[in-house]
Amino acid sequence: MTAANIKSEQFWAYLQMMRPANILTAWADILVGYAASGAVVALSFPSAESWATPLIGGLNFSHGMAIAWLLLATTGLYGGGVVFNDLFDADIDAVERPERPLPSGRASRRGAIGLGVALLVLAGVAAAQVSWVSAGLAGFVAIAALLYDAFSKHNAILGPVNMGLCRGANLLLGVSVISAEVMDRWFLALGSIAYIAAITAISQGEVHGGKRQTGILSLVMLAAVLGGALGLGFLPNYYLGNELPFIALFAGLVVPAFLRATVNPQPDLIRAAVKSGILSLIVLDAAIAAGFTHWLYGLLVLSLLPISRKLAQIFAVT
């Protein structure tokens, strides 16, 4: 094997550790947070004519650079977090998943540490370009991710909650485009916490199989997420009609997969449920973003899904 081929294989190994398909779900969090902040002018109305209303002219492009920085920040946060996750799991993966980059030798521990640190530092620097509130949220996500990687993921209760906090704070990172709105929209993080906690809980059986009770708990949390998303319709200037098509798609993608994994908690069905749950976060974000703004903005967020699915065919998700 030539030196060029070796470097190419190493590049792909480190890229695989970053979970590119999953990073797009983190982008969706930023975009829905941006929508919830009020930085996007809502153009939807309860009348049928709203479906013909153009979105161009409704977007506040003055925040475009801030969004670019936050997308870069969340890329660093998610990428760095999962790289360290693989580092902490290297010994376990050597037994259970020897094909992964570190156990297979395609990536080195030193290289992975360097990559993880660089990504988290990049995240902090990028977030600081927006505001100190953004930087603080990025710092919180980074610390919470490392705590999950090193300790809490081995606890059946703390692990799911910890991972949920990472994603909830990541959504608020998008809201921080307008710093003052973070305190007003904090409750949106609860939905992310519950949903990611549901995925994390059921994922604990993706190697050796799980328990039906865990699947039932995940379904209960999923029902709470759906109820909470629909409950946003009580907010002023939130258009539930825009949300409904997206939330129906979300339920259709996730609920059957979770039901199958609950009824028969075998590793392959659990992995399928986890994969569906992670990628469908984009659909959930699209639903909420559409409610805060316009159905076309929801489609913009939803456009990340086919890209993420395509990447999931190349790179591992779980």
Closest Cα partner for 25 from 260, 276, 295, 294?
Answer: 276
pLDDT at residue 204, rounded to an integer:
74
Strand blocks (E) in 210-290: none
pLDDT at residue 209, rounded to an integer:
65
The hierarchical CATH code for the domain 15-312 is 1.10.357.140
pLDDT at residue 206, rounded to an integer:
61
pLDDT at residue 267, rounded to an integer:
87
Spatial distance between the Cα atoms of 5 and 10, rounded to a whole number of angstroms: 9
Contacts of 212 (CB under 8 A, 6+ apart): 262, 263, 265
Q: Residues of the chain whose pLDDT is less than 70?
A: 1-7, 41-62, 205-210
Spatial distance between the Cα atoms of 83 and 215, rounded to a whole number of angstroms: 27
Q: What is the pLDDT of residues 13-63, one digit of tens each?
A: 999 999 999 999 999 999 999 999 988 764 333 443 443 333 334 444 457
DSSP string, 25-79: HHHHHHHHHHHHTT-BPP---SSGGGGG--STTTB-GGGHHHHHHHHHHHHHHHH
pLDDT at residue 207, rounded to an integer:
60
